[in-house]
A and B are shown apart, each in its own frame.
Chain A
Amino acid sequence: MNDQLISVQEVSSAAEDLQARDTAEPIPEHIVEIVSDSGEGAQKCGQTFGIVSARMGNGVWTVEIIPAEIQPPARTPDGASGIRIRVGEALMTNMGNEANLVVAFNEQVLRSRLASSAYKAGTVVLLDNMWASDPSEDIRTQYSEALEEFAEFGLEVYELPIQTECLKVVPDPRKGKNMFVLGMLSHIYSRDTEQALNEIANIFSRKSEKVISTNQDLFRAGYVFAQKNVPYHYEISPSELADKSMVVMSGNQAVGLGVMASGMEMVSMYPITPATSASHYLADDFHLTGGFVHQAEDEIAAIGFAIGASYAGKTACTITSGPGIALKTEMISLASMAEIPLVIVNVQRGGPSTGLPTKVEQGDLLTTMFGAPGDSPKVIIAAATISECFHFVTLARRLAESFRIPVIVLTDANLATGVQPFERPEVTTDWFAAPVDQSDWDENVPAYDWDEETGLSARAIPGMRNGGYVLTGLAHNRHGKIAYDTTSNQEGSDMRSLKMATLAGTLNRPEIHGDADGDLLIVGWGSTLGTLEEAVDVARENGHKVSSIHLRFLSPMEPGLKDIFSRFKKVMTIEINYSDAANAPRISEENRRYAQLALLLRAHTLVDVDCWSVVSGHPLQPGNISRVIMDRVGEIGGDK
């Protein structure tokens, strides 16, 4: 092997020379994909590419491509694993449409992405050609057949000896090819090589020096290889954000940091995809703020444990996903009934039942709102960006304590694994929860001293002298005493509902993206913000009178909706959850089942709100949504 090794000095000096004399074509943005078999490190490669790009001041949005199984068979379309990185001059708010450039470790995984409409004619594919000379005739045939398929579709395929080149550096490129590819991409997109080499050192910081230097060698080899063999070289200028102090992270990491910045000290969880990585992050860093991650024996115990800590004055957080929410329902209802502050993060995945664990859906809005016995009001807020994943958790803690209520923060698989830069929050100690009140309680004040105007009441915390009371999920009066009489349950329900109205009175009307009146208003919520606004912008550029609003508060609902809706000929929601298409067989106005926000808005405003929604498991793409918008504008005969 040794005689084949490229000397480090040779490579790095070549890289420096080449960077200087190559001229790069400026582009506003590109969508890049890296696809491989599971376990080949494509995601690590793409995340590093994204982080380096963010550090250089570019806008970035990443989406992981996750195989359906943990150990899928190699070289199968189902096993496609990888990542998409949308990188550009401006802030990137969604995954975009078809990819511009793809690096593929084999041709079969590429077929799966082709079937998912991830590519267009002209998409550049850099494909490892090792399969063309595979000893198995079957594989050679598959390879050549796939290439024909790609040519027919119009992909611009470059067959490159990636494996062969990696073999010059390492004996088994299955570990390390990803860093070679990172080097290739770093040349193609003129990335800062020093940043990339540092990031590689970070990735392998728990491994030996030898591992770090080998991976850096692979990076350098890839860089030089691309310079010599790939006829593309681009430059993407930094965005206006480059001057600001930024942080870049995934939505789940943002949730974890939000927990820390809010002053919460306890996250109680049970492993569930795609929520768990938030707790993985906290398990690494929570000690920095004196916090603890409790991995409970099940979802119910996880929320019960959090409720116990909250009841004792340490508002806690539980992080889960749809099936976990289903299990926690009874406890959430208890927190609502007994007025225990609590933060619940629901990283939504595809349903129903176990559904699509790794895929995106906005399917839990109604179950979080209504999935409980009786009337169990709670606050529901939905993060639309990764920045909001952070800020909404801190908001949730404050709301939970001020209103003595469970607060559910909805995010989803798209936000959870997506990586995006945002402005670094200026945290101060005011963000933290106040110390546990242990002053004496006035013994004349009952446990639920509801204010008749707001429904709010102070809370006695264990340790407060004279404050003792029995918290119960049974119907109770102001004194916390079990009360089955004819008035107590009504009064308690009234007071808990009144809190929601009190909170609603503090909210602002949603901002309108576009004009305040027109033909079509799109209403969205959650992670689709960037996609919907990009699609609306395309429609507006084409002369259509389309606007959009994006709701963050779903319970209570933001004010002014009926008034805003009245200024448009048609209102529709676009969501990632199930609805019947209006023109589907057997579907009529009477039996059509609406998307979840649409159903709520119809009840809330009495406006005939239409909807379009899908449950494909994929994030929405602006190109598709533009077409949906154009279709609807056409149906209502909108002006152009």
Chain B
Amino acid sequence: MFGLKSDWSLSANDRYFTLDDYARSLPRWCTGCGDLGILAAIHRVCRENQILPENMVSVSGIGCSSRLPHYMNGYGFHGLHGRALPVACGVKSRRPDLDIWVATGDGDCFSIGAAHWVHALRYNMDITVLVFDNGIYGLTKKQTSPTTPEEYLTNTHPTGALLPPLNPLTISLGVSNISFVAQMVDWNPPLLYETIKAAHDHKGTSFVRIIQRCPVYMEALNLEMMDDPANLLLLRHEDGIPVPEGVDRLFENQLEHDPSNLPAALGIAADKSKMPVGLLYRNDEALCYDELSSVGLDMTYEEKLAGVNAALDKFSV
């Protein structure tokens, strides 16, 4: 079997996988939900890279975002609220051969799972982490999330969210050993595809915050951003996210930003006046914890037995 890839190159694998091979059941997200576009982009990246479906593990927590494994072929782990990252890291720890996707949300990742978020970034295991950030708790119906804009009316803060929202970009960029931080919007499919592809291709933990529309509970916020592209700032660089031809015309604000420049990335992330889209930071040299945790995988049973006996010898009387 062989197949034609989207860039017109030929693939000569034994098995060729189409988009359908990466889909599972029909998504049950709301009509107009930004998650649908993210899912389509992930499927495209899988097809482009011809990932073996049986080697894919999609790990999620709880929330609208975390339904993703049910819509992905291969293996899925729809676990506990906030705990996708420890599970995903555990899968990778002794199975470096598996291709790990993590789907999480602003509540799941930045609130209940915040400790794991910070530490997973520091572990920098080779996994792709996509945060579906709609700025609200959707599944449980409109409670304030860490990224809900101040004064936005929610069911837990009916007179308006009390605190300024948390900035996931500055926090992520502040974590030592961070290796990939990107931000994208769900309503630009070509750029979203390129962003997720770059994230997946990166060796290490690629953290992508995706600004995602919730047409049911957070319509106002996203409409404003969609309607006025002046709110966005496109980050461009030859080492950054490739910008497909024509797409750049959508952005009146563009900035040449070298993704190896951490202080500049922090400056862009901290600037509240515009929402940056593109690659803020990448470091291909950062230490990957999975290379440490997978030590000894090639050991034979005879070597292990000798190891047990050597250990017992130390306690022998």
Binding site for B on A (CB under 8 A): 51, 54-55, 57, 245-249, 253, 257, 260-261, 263, 265-266, 268, 285, 287-292, 294, 296-298, 300-302, 304-314, 316, 330-331, 334, 421, 424-425, 427-429, 432, 436, 460, 462-474, 481-482
Contacts and interface: CB of A to CB of B under 8 A. Distances in A.
A314 B94 contact: yes
A265 B147 CA distance: 39
28 contacts: A246-B317, A257-B311, A287-B307, A288-B308, A288-B311, A289-B308, A290-B295, A290-B296, A290-B298, A296-B119, A298-B115, A301-B119, A304-B83, A304-B87, A306-B90, A308-B59, A308-B89, A308-B91, A311-B77, A312-B91, A312-B94, A313-B95, A429-B305, A462-B95, A468-B74, A468-B75, A471-B76, A472-B79
A305 B309 CA distance: 28
Nearest to B87: A308
B308 A462 contact: no
B293 interface: yes
B175 to A, nearest CB: 12
A473 B79 contact: yes
B301 interface: yes
Contacts of A436: 95
Contacts of B75: 460, 462, 467-471
A125 to B, nearest CB: 30
B310 A247 contact: no
Given A257-B312, A291-B296, A334-B80, A468 B73 contact: yes
A305 B86 contact: yes
Interface stretch (B50-58, B237-245, B250-258, B265-273): B50-58
B24 interface: yes
A463 B95 contact: yes
B307 A331 contact: no
A521 B276 CA distance: 74
Contact of A301 (B74, B116, B308): B116
A429 B304 contact: yes
Contacts of B59: 308
A123 B166 CA distance: 65
Nearest to A290: B296
Contacts of A432: 301, 304-305
Given A289-B299, A424-B312, A463 B93 contact: no
B97 A265 contact: no
Given A54-B317, A297-B119, A308-B87, 17 more contacts: A248-B315, A257-B312, A268-B90, A287-B296, A290-B296, A290-B299, A292-B93, A292-B294, A301-B115, A302-B86, A310-B90, A316-B90, A462-B55, A462-B91, A465-B54, A468-B73, A481-B25
Contacts of A51: 317
Contacts of A331: 80, 83
A473 B93 contact: no
Nearest to A425: B312
A287 B53 CA distance: 32
B39 interface: no
Nearest to A60: B317
Interface in B282-311: 292-299, 301-305, 307-311
Interface in B44-101: 53-57, 59, 69-70, 73-80, 83, 85-95, 97-98
B79 A334 contact: yes
B288 to A, nearest CB: 14
B316 A305 contact: no
B54 A260 contact: no
Given A291-B296, A297-B116, A330-B80, A261 B87 contact: no
Nearest to B303: A290
A312 B302 contact: no
A464 B54 contact: yes
- The 3 A-B pairs with the shortest beta carbon distances in the complex, nearest first, are A308-B90, A290-B296, A304-B86
Nearest to B119: A297
B71 to A, nearest CB: 9
Interface residues of B, number: 59
Main secondary structure of the interface of B (DSSP, over half): helix
A290 B307 contact: yes
A194 to B, nearest CB: 14
Given A427-B305, A429-B301, A463 B54 contact: yes
B54 A467 contact: yes
Contacts, number: 202
Which of B293, B296, B308, B310 lies at the interface centre, i.e. has the most chain A CB atoms within 10 A of its CB? B308
Which of A57, A246, A294, A481 lies at the interface centre, i.e. has the most chain B CB atoms within 10 A of its CB? A294
Given A301-B86, A470-B77, A288 B95 contact: no
Contacts of A294: 90, 93, 293
B128 to A, nearest CB: 15
Interface string B6-25: 00000000000000000011
Contact of B57 (A55, A296, A427, A462): A462
A289 B296 contact: yes
A330 B86 CA distance: 14
Given A290-B296, A429-B304, A470-B24, A312 B98 contact: yes
Given A298-B115, A314-B94, A314-B95, A470 B310 contact: no
Contacts of B85: 301, 304
Nearest to B78: A472
Given A297-B115, A304-B87, A468-B53, A288 B80 contact: no
A561 to B, nearest CB: 36
B160 to A, nearest CB: 32
A300 B86 contact: yes
Contacts of A425: 312
A471 B115 contact: no
Contacts of B88: 308
A510 B314 CA distance: 34
Contacts of B57: 312, 462
A311 B83 CA distance: 14
Contacts of A248: 315, 317
A265 B98 contact: no
Contacts of A473: 78-80
A305 B317 contact: no
A300 B116 CA distance: 9
Contacts of A429: 301-302, 304-305
B310 A288 contact: yes
Nearest to A436: B95
A166 to B, nearest CB: 29
Given A290-B299, A464-B54, A305 B97 contact: no
Which of A51, A316, A425, A470 lies at the interface centre, i.e. has the most chain B CB atoms within 10 A of its CB? A470
Given A289-B307, A462-B57, A462-B95, A305 B296 contact: no
Nearest to A202: B314
A463 B97 contact: yes
Given A260-B307, A468-B53, A471-B76, A307 B95 contact: no
Contacts of A334: 79-80
Contacts of B97: 463
Contacts of B77: 308, 311, 470-471
A261 B119 contact: no
A468 B294 CA distance: 23
A316 B292 CA distance: 16
A240 to B, nearest CB: 14
Nearest to A263: B304
B79 A292 contact: no
B54 A466 contact: yes
Nearest to B298: A290
A539 to B, nearest CB: 33
Nearest to A476: B78
Which of B296, B304, B307, B316 lies at the interface centre, i.e. has the most chain A CB atoms within 10 A of its CB? B304
A326 B296 CA distance: 32
A363 to B, nearest CB: 26
